[in-house]
Amino acid sequence: METENSIGAAVTAFSDQIPTNFALSSIFDTPFGGEKWSLGFMDLLGVQDFTPSMFDLLQQPSMPSPPPIVSVGEYSSDILNLPATPNSSSISSSSTEAANDEQSKAVEEEEQEKTKNQLKSNKKNKKRQKEPRFAFMTKSEVDHLEDGYRWRKYGQKAVKNSPFPRSYYRCTTATCGVKKRVERSSDDPTIVVTTYEGQHTHPSPVMPRGISTGISPDSSSYAAAFAMAPMQLTQPHHDFQEQQQPYFHNLLPPSLNYNSSVSLAPTFVPERRFFTSATSFIRDHGLLQDIVPSDMRSA
């Protein structure tokens, strides 16, 4: 079945053929509800050159998700929830209350006579709204990658057709409703799929310099860079709808390179593009040096 475990299939498809080390964030126009989602790959063992053959690979019809990008808008990783059963292409709604939930929760806490009935009614009255999501895959042995923000785990669930559970995290900052889900690909256990949901309403408590405090330039550090992508993606002043760009011209989400005229060269250094154009505060503080080992920067 085509839709079963598409993430895993995608991982397999990529990991089997992708050269050596890579960093990639791509926009797909998914066949599942027509939603856009962003898919990022990182090989944490070291980022090296990135060849055009990679792009040819992406365009192959065998890809689980048709690569042609139509437009860039809301990012969703709902694809991650695709059911395994055939004929059931829909997925559970993204239970994203985020900020609203946070506020209602505060109100609830003031009402110390919170009962189950109250909870029920509150939940029923909640309007489920889809938050922008950003999903990426990371090749890492560590499930929960350090990304510069502090997270509190609030749940873990077994995932259907996967031996690996899915963990749910919420940003520990009181006013911030950002959530993320972390799970391993069932097809490739070395791949960690992280889905960010919502946008931080605060600067990173660890970044920009903190990432270098005791954190070695390993998967954790790289995750930090990717983790910031969704925050920028959701900045309201970016009108993604007007930024329809050719798919492979847009390896990074538009907000990450929207003002850069990057064209595909025979080879380029993806991590350089990513870190320099994606996160201005990183660039401004020279965090690249903290994140990317010198040997990799010169790759």
| Of 177 and 270, CB closest to DNA | 177
State which residue, 33 or 52, has the beta carbon closest to DNA: 33
Question: SS3 helix, strand, coil % of the chain, rounded to 5?
Answer: 30, 20, 50
CA-to-CA dists, residue 238 to 149, 217, 231, 275, angstroms: 23, 31, 12, 19
- From candidates 158, 216, 284, 295, binder to DNA by CB under 7 A: 158
Interface pick for DNA out of 106, 160, 249, 286 (rule CB under 7 A): 160
State how beta strands 179-184 and 133-139 pair. unpaired
Residues 6+ apart with CB under 8 A from 17: 57
Question: Which listed residue (95, 100, 212, 245) binds DNA by CB under 7 A?
Answer: 95
Comparing CB distances to DNA, the nearer of 63 and 91 is: 91
DSSP 179-248: EEEEEE-SS-TTEEEEEEES--SS--SSTTTGGGSS--TTHHHHHHHHHHHHHHHT-TT--GGG----GG
Minimum CB separation from DNA for residue 18, in Å?
A: 27
Report residue 248 as tokens.
């492979």
Closest contact distance (angstroms) between CB of 88 and DNA is 4
Q: Which residue has the tokens 């040997």?
A: 295
Helices and strands (DSSP H and E) totals, the chain: 10, 7
Smallest distance, Å, CB 159 to DNA? 5
**Contact yes or no for 40/226 (Cβ under 8 A):** yes
Q: Least separation, in Å, of the C-beta of 181 and DNA?
A: 6
Counting contacts by CB under 7 A, is residue 101 touching DNA?
yes
**Residue 202 engages DNA in binding (rule: CB under 7 A):** no
Q: Which one among 35, 43, 97, 188 touches DNA, defined by CB under 7 A?
A: 97
**Minimum distance of DNA from residue 108's CB (angstroms):** 7
Per-position DSSP letters for 3-66, written without gaps between them: STTHHHHHHHHHHHHS-S--EEEEEEE-SSTT-EEEEEEEETT----B-THHHHHHHSTTSSS-
Q: Which is nearer to DNA, 180 or 273 (CB)?
A: 180
Under DSSP, the state recorded for 78 is G
Subset of 52-91 contacting DNA (CB under 7 A): 80-81, 83, 85, 87-91
Q: CB 202 → DNA: shortest distance, Å? A: 15
Mask for 122-141, x = binds DNA (CB under 7 A): -xx---x-------------
Considering the complex, state which of residue 129 and residue 190 has its C-beta at the smaller distance from DNA. 129
Candidate list 59, 60, 68, 157; residue touching DNA; CB under 7 A? 157
- Token look-up 């890492």 returns 140
Contact assessment for residue 108 and residue 163, using Cβ atoms and an 8 Å cutoff: no
Residue 23 CA: distances (Å) to CA of 152, 269, 272, 278? 27, 9, 10, 13
Among 179, 184, 200, 273, binds DNA (CB under 7 A): 179
166 vs 273 by CB, closer to DNA: 166
Q: Report the nearest approach of DNA to the CB of residue 209 (Å).
A: 20
Binding residues for DNA, total number by CB under 7 A: 41
Query: Per CB under 7 A, does 214 bind DNA?
Result: no
CA dihedral (288, 249, 139, 182) positive or negative: positive
Residues interacting with DNA, by CB under 7 A? 80-81, 83, 85, 87-97, 101, 105, 114, 116, 119-120, 123-124, 128, 150-160, 166-168, 172, 179, 181
